[in-house]
Amino acid sequence: MAQGVVLAALLPLCTGCFFAARQGVKALRGDKHTTPAACDGTVLPPGMPAGVDGPYALVQHAVPSAAAGREVQVFLPAQAPGPSPVILFAHGFGADRWTLYEGLIRHLVSRGAVVVFAPYPTLGATQDQRYGALWDGFAAAVAAEGVAMDLSRVGIIGHSFGGGAVPFLASRAFVDRGWGSRGGFILMLAPWYSYGTSDNDLAHLPSWILRGWQVYDGDTVNDQRMAADLYAHTPATAGRYFFQANSGTLSLPKGSTCPLTADHRTPVQGNSPLLQRLAVYPVVDALADQAFMPSADTAAKLAALGHQGGGYRPLVREDTPVPAKPQDAYRWPWTHPRNPRQGEGTP
């Protein structure tokens, strides 16, 4: 990514909480969505899968990171019993304030996870330096707060540039460090190009690590082919799940309607909060529950996710994803010279 170019990065208690078994730069360019009161995520349509918050309050700690030149933010579930599973979050390019993803972070913590938000430099840095800052930030958080972390259960989530970095981070965490030995997952939200990621790297992640991708039908920033490529070149024997969030109009109780926009900004705080509840949180929750507390029930919920309902479906699972838009519909198409995975074959 050229220097000077800012990439658009980017309720009731839950029954599947992770502890249920035991008790700077203007980066996210794009149109802002206005949110009618009925669409703020506090009213959920009956019978539709939705992410609901758990019982844990959020405690925030800051950890210095020399590589990023910024503090890494560690969010812990208050009074959670014992070490908590860990979710490492890689933000979109320039979206280095955790408050841009506050809703998602608070949701994850409420369900019993420690969340680590590691900033990385935007301008004046190479891709290797950005990836290095991400990893060094995560490692610094573990060194400082590891007593609260169960590193045998680890998830990695990334959005946009951070989504493209997830496979690299997964190799460092799951292969080099041996984290996630009792369960793990990765989730790439509208990923940008993936550096340092070969088909061999994808094949050598531990087989028990669940793999997830999510794209958005209204995205005009990152070509869906980046996500489809990584999905297609992940071994079919791995647990892999590809979802699309869809724009549309949802009917709510008492006759109100809610227009929902699924675009590149969907995971970001303040953009379609109801769609986050209906399309983003359920995917995160299902992957985390199955990775951290596997059971027949969590497996069934993950398998069914995205297959339910008729009419407008905010979330759809695709077993053989094929991008519907031509490449020239995106700011960053698959065939762009900056895409290092073109040599691995087309998606």
pLDDT at position 74 over 60: yes
pLDDT computed for residue 65 by the predictor: 84
d(CA 138, CA 158): 13
Residue 300 tokens, joined: 């069934």
Eight-class DSSP state of 173: I
Percentage above 70 pLDDT, the chain = 88
Region 230-248 average pLDDT: 95
3-state per-residue secondary structure call for 116-129 = EECCCCCCCCCHHH
Extents of the domains making up the chain: 20-344
User: Contact 218/263 with Cβ under 8 angstroms?
Assistant: yes
Yes or no: domain 20-344 corresponds to CATH 3.30.230.70? no
d(CA 156, CA 83): 17
pLDDT in tens, 127-148: 999 999 999 999 999 999 999 9
pLDDT computed for residue 344 by the predictor: 67
Q: How far is CA 17 from CA 20, 53, 111, 133, in A?
A: 5, 9, 5, 31
The rounded mean pLDDT for the chain is 88
Give start and end residues of each alpha helix (H) in the chain: 102-110, 127-145, 161-170, 199-203, 224-232, 273-275, 281-292, 296-304
